[in-house]
Amino acid sequence: MGCSCQHEQTLLDDKKELLEDVISAYKGKAGSLVAVLQDVQGICGYLPQPVMRWLGKELGIKPAKIYGVATFYTQFRLTPVGKYLIMLCQGTACHVNGAERIETAVSRELKISSGETTDDGVFTLDTVACLGCCSLAPVMMINGRAYGPLTPDGAVKIVKDIYKKETQSGGEVQ
Amino acid sequence: MKLRIGFGSCGIAAGALDIKKSVEEEILRRGLDLDAEITGCVGMCHNEPLLDVLDDSGNVYTYGKVTTDAVKLIFDRQIEGNQPVEEYLVATAERPNDFLSGQVRLALRNCGVINPEKIDDYMDQGGYKALHQAVAEMSAQEIIAQIKESGLRGRGGAGFPTWFKWQAALQNRSDVKYVVCNADEGDPGAFMDRSLLEGDPHSVLEGMAIAGRAIGAAIGIIYVRAEYPLAIKRLEIAIEQARERKLLGKGILDSKFNFDILIKKGAGAFVCGEETALIASLEGERGMPRLKPPFPAQSGYWGRPTNINNVETYANVPWIISQGAGEFNSMGTDKSPGTKVFALAGKIKRGGLVEVPMGIPLRQVIFKLGDGIKNDRRFKAVQMGGPSGGCIPEQLLDTPVDYDSITRTGAIMGSGGMVVMDETTCMVDVARFFLDFTRKESCGKCVQCRIGTKRMLEILERICRGEGREGDIELLQSMAVKVKEGSLCGLGQSAPNPVLTTIRYFRDEYEAHIRDKKCPARQCKALISYHIDPELCRGCGRCARKCPVGCISGEKKKPHAIDPERCIKCGTCLEVCPPKYHAVFVE
């Protein structure tokens, strides 16, 4: 993959209007940085560096502080996500019920490991501390929907089904 | 007649959306005049999706593991023929099941009963009467006196007396004060707060408003995990409805009392469960704790007196005010009155949410309500208190569940997660798992926590790899003391607990790893190997077909063999080998 700054700069320009709405909603309200970053991530899918620098200027906050907050919380991402974000639960209940095997199976199927995105941009694989659906362990969440209890085969099938639907609906996959 | 569909996160994950759709289709197709409501989680997560049929005399028939075919049967037989569908029936008024009948539901009083998106449902159950009482009839001191008499202790983990915090926040004079609800339920293995917020959001709002009245605050903030989208949505609906009814906002119930509630979404940091870190996060900073005192009741959000309680604590408050402190403290034990909600998960047959009076033995929760261990394996330990807690072994199963008794075992009550482990769970691996969690979640402020947890984790990883050394156990124990003593907040102070309790009760497992290079539970990959017994293998080829790395070979109908060099020890072969052959084994 080449340098992404150009793309990120374009992202900032494209979404400027939406981003300005966020700024005007929070400007002058002390202590809103976390909420601002949540909204910005909602718009851009992640927190691109040019956007963070721009935010700093607009809000009068040092970029270093924005970066500090963005890297402190696990919700914030500094790299783009795929169309489908797969979150594999690593909670205690999932762990004792074989979460590791689910991760191995999904990871093998998509040929990426946790934190990575597939080349076609369809899936991002991530692990999370606990989704709070412990009675369904082991669980994964894909774009907000929880699936469980999983078996390695079952998890792979869910991912394959989504991929099939994506490629059939056509056009959207790069 | 009325229908009710369990619409908590777990119900939805189990397929409640499809069930609702098919119920609505059946109603339409049959031209029936029936209401199909949604409701929160009743706690029987093991039976989701759930469908209740309430007949005209008010009897409830609860159906579990409902499929779309079952919906048709229920319409055919029960709704149109008044005959319950036995195959799917899990509870009726005459035949309550052990899971529900063993409980006393205070905090969960409305979960699975009302539609959480309708304020009228909550009010029909007596909701907001306590707020009315608190606003119209009681002084701040009287409210606090009631809470004091009830003996309510913080349900978030530490068990600090609730009245004491309220009293402190009341006494600290300030024109602006805050009430904060800690809904940053970060313990892996805990989901009580999520279910409560999804199933009965108004009870939490009402509890917060009463707290606001008691300490003299006009603003309440709910700090809730962003990972709980449904809980956030239901809270937003509830807040809006409460405002419309003048139960929140300016001039509540036509009095001079103003109180409104905002939602702030957490961004995923376990340490933000700690009060001072939570406040830093609310202020938009990195969620790092600071030294106490000053306590939040003196100087909290923006330096103002702030009262912070957990979701379940607030949900208990309206019940105490309306039913009376005496009623509350007649349940539970002297020092831990009332009830506690637990999230039962792990290797348990009936997982879900249970609320029981404090003081009942652990054994009763796990074996009566939870119906014992999955696949009838042997119980090994129950993990309580998440990463701050510990593992309680079989010989202590008669320990009563109350704050002080659980603390004596080396675990803590915590927020109520109970993860059950069986003989196939490796306790060294469990300790490693929790240390890995706390190491990642350490905010990095205190050296002992930041580096100590990392070093302890490295030792545990080494032991799990079969590279443990004599003296490792003692080294872990001495480092544990240093991490506990050298950390500012609860995260670091309690991070070594899972290691200490597993060493205390399962030292033999550590020794087996270190001395014999064996994992008794056969979980640690470096210490096990998979084999096929040539005497038992019939060469059906299932394992060879399923092996993800293709390391099993053999001729058809002849014994197969695993190539140990290429085996990744995923366990698939063991899982797919037909039980009648039982040819794959682990050493």
Q: How far A58 CA sits from the closest chain B CA (Å)?
A: 16
Domain-ending residue, one of A43, A72, A101: A72
Of the candidates B402, B409, B491, B508, the one whose C-alpha atom is nearest the C-alpha of residue B452 is B491
Residue B147: give its domain's CATH number: 3.40.50.11540
B185 assigned to some structural domain: yes
Q: What is the distance in angstroms between the Cα of A54 and the nearest Cα belonging to chain B? A: 18
CATH number reported for the structural domain that contains residue B448 in this entry: 1.20.1440.230
CATH number, position B411: 3.10.20.600
Apex CA B40: angle with CA B7 and CA B217, to 5°?
130
Q: Is the pLDDT of residue B281 over 80?
A: yes
Cβ-count burial B488-523 (b if 16+ within 10 Å, e if not): bbbbbbbbbbbbbbbbebbeebbbbbbeeebbbbbb
Residue of B501, B570, B573, B574 best to disrupt the A interface, most CBs of A under 10 A: B570
- Nearest residue of chain A to residue B385 (CA atoms): A92
Which residue from A47, A151, A134 is spatially nearest to A89, judged by alpha carbons? A134
More confident residue, B235 or B576: B235
Mutate one of A97, A130, A139, A151 to test the B interface: name it (highest B CB count within 10 A): A130
The DSSP 8-state label assigned to residue B564 in this structure reads T
Do B404 and B487 reside in the same domain of the chain?
Answer: no
Residue span of the structural domain in which A95 resides: 84-169
B191 with A132: Cβ contact below 8 A: yes
A67 and A108 in a single domain? The answer is no
Nearest Cβ partner for A108 among B12, B285, B548: B548
One domain for residues B438 and B414:
no
Q: Looking at the structure, do residues B479 and B367 belong to the same domain, yes or no?
A: no
| Residue A141, in any domain of the structure | yes
* Helices and strands of chain A, counted as H and E runs: 8, 4
Q: In this predicted model, what pLDDT tens digit does every residue of B320-350 receive, in sequence order?
A: 999 999 999 999 999 999 999 999 999 999 9
| Helix residue ranges, H only, B358-468 | 362-363, 403-408, 427-441, 447-464
For B567, the domain range is 529-586
Q: Does B443 touch chain A (CB under 8 A)?
A: yes
φ and ψ of B115, to 5 deg? -85, 110
Instruction: Give residue A2's pLDDT band: very low, low, confident or very high (50, 70, 90).
Output: very low
- What band does A4 get if pLDDT is binned at 50, 70 and 90? low
In a domain, B333, yes or no: no
Residues 381-410 of B with CB under 8 A from A: 383, 386
Q: What are the backbone angles phi and psi of residue B293, rounded to the nearest 5°? A: -70, 170
Please provide residue B253's backbone torsions phi and psi, each rounded to the nearest 5 degrees.
Answer: 50, 40
Which among B186, B229, B231, B225 is positioned nearest to B204, based on CA atoms? B231
Kindly determine whether residue A105 and residue B345, on different chains, have CB atoms separated by under 8 Å: no
* Structure tokens belonging to residue B361: 């033995």
Least CB–CB distance from A146: residue in B13, B347, B568: B13
In this complex, is the C-beta atom of B581 within 8 Å of any C-beta atom belonging to chain A? Answer: no
Residue of A102, A134, A156 to mutate, testing the B interface (most B Cβ within 10 Å of its Cβ): A134
Q: How far apart are CA B192 and CA B182, in angstroms?
A: 13
Summarised one tens digit per residue, pLDDT across range B535-551 is 999 999 999 998 988 99
* Claim to verify: residue B249 and residue B179 sit in the same structural domain: yes
Q: Which of residues 502-561 of B touch A (CB under 8 A)?
A: 548
B400, B336 in Cβ contact below 8 A?
no
- Nearest CA among B273, B200, B170, B161 for reference residue B7: B200
- Count chain A–chain B contacts defined by CB atoms under 8 A: 148
Q: Looking at B328, B359, B376, which one is the last position of a domain?
A: B328
Nearest CA of chain B to the CA of A145: how many Å? 7
Please check whether residues A19 and A52 belong to one and the same domain: yes
Range A44-57 average pLDDT: 93
Tokens found for residue B213: 């009245």
> For residue A174, what pLDDT band results from cuts at 50, 70 and 90?
very low
In-domain check, residue A79: no
User: Bigger pLDDT: B57 or A35?
Assistant: A35
- With an 8 Å Cβ cutoff, is A145 touching chain B? yes
Q: Tell me, what's the pLDDT at A3? A: 57
CATH of the domain at A18: 1.10.10
Q: Which residue in the set A32, A101, A129 is minimally distant from B270, CB to CB?
A: A129
Domain boundary among A72, A93, A118: A72
Residues B301 and B168 grouped into a single domain: yes
Mean pLDDT of chain A: 89
Q: Examine residue A98 and state whether it is found in any structural domain, yes or no.
A: yes
Q: Give the integer Cα–Cα distance in Å for B242 and B205.
A: 9
CATH number at residue A127: 3.40.30.10
Last residue of one domain, picked from the residues B48, B64, B96: B96
Q: Report H helices in A15-98.
A: 16-26, 33-44, 49-59, 63-72, 92-96
Q: Which of A33, A104, A135 sits opposite B345 (nearest CB)?
A: A135
Domain end (from B422, B445, B475): B422
- pLDDT value for A5: 63
- How far does A8 lie from chain B, in Å, by closest CA? 23
- Report the 10 Å Cβ neighbour count for B216: 18
Contact in structure between B269 and B187 (CB atoms under 8 Å): no
| Tokens describing residue A4 | 């992404």
The tokens for B111 are 């979960």
Same-domain status, B243 and B359: no
Question: Min CA distance, A119 vs chain B (Å)?
Answer: 22
Chain B residue closest to A127 (CA)? B437
Interatomic CA distance for residues B335 and B401, integer angstroms? 12
Q: Do B198 and B77 share a structural domain?
A: no
Of all residues in chain A, the one with the smallest CA distance to B47 is: A135
Residues A94 and A56 both lie in one domain: no
Task: Answer yes or no: do B66 and B11 share one domain.
Answer: yes
The pLDDT of residue A173 is above 70? no
Q: How many structural domains is chain A composed of?
A: 2
Higher pLDDT, A29 or B204: B204
In a domain, A128, yes or no: yes
Q: Could you read off the pLDDT of B298-308 as tens digits, one per residue?
A: 999 999 999 99
- The count of domains in chain B is 5
**Predicted confidence band of residue A1 (pLDDT cuts 50, 70, 90):** very low
- Both B274 and B137 in one domain: the answer is yes
CB contact under 8 A, A92 and B265: no
A144 touches chain B (CB under 8 A): yes
What is the average pLDDT across B521-527?
Answer: 94
What's the complex ipTM?
Answer: 0.90
Q: Is residue A77 part of a domain?
A: no
Instruction: Based on the fold, state whether residues A108 and A163 are members of the same structural domain.
Output: yes
Residue B378: what pLDDT?
96
In this complex, do B13 and A130 lie within 8 Å of one another by their Cβ atoms?
no
Does the beta carbon of A128 lie under 8 angstroms from any beta carbon of chain B?
yes
The tokens of B332 are what?
Answer: 């539970």
The enclosing domain of B19 has a CATH number of: 3.40.30.10
Final residue belonging to a domain, choices A72, A92, A109 = A72
Is A73 touching B (CB cutoff 8 A)?
yes
DSSP assignment of B315-376, as one string?
HHHHHHHHH-HHHHHTSB-SSSBSEEEEEEEESBSS-EEEEEETT-BHHIIIIIIS-SBGGG
Give dist(CA B350, CA B525) in Å, integer.
Answer: 29
Q: How far is CA B296 from CA A33, A161, B176, B270, B304, in A?
A: 21, 50, 13, 19, 8
The answer to whether residues B433 and B468 belong to one domain is yes
Mean pLDDT computed over A124-149: 87
Task: Let me know if residue B106 belongs to a domain.
Answer: no
Question: How confident is the model over B505-523, as a mean pLDDT?
Answer: 97
A120 within a domain of the structure (yes/no): yes
Contact B346 A92 (CB under 8 A): yes
Q: Does A164 touch chain B (CB under 8 A)?
A: no
Question: Cβ separation of B383 and A92 shorter than 8 Å?
Answer: yes
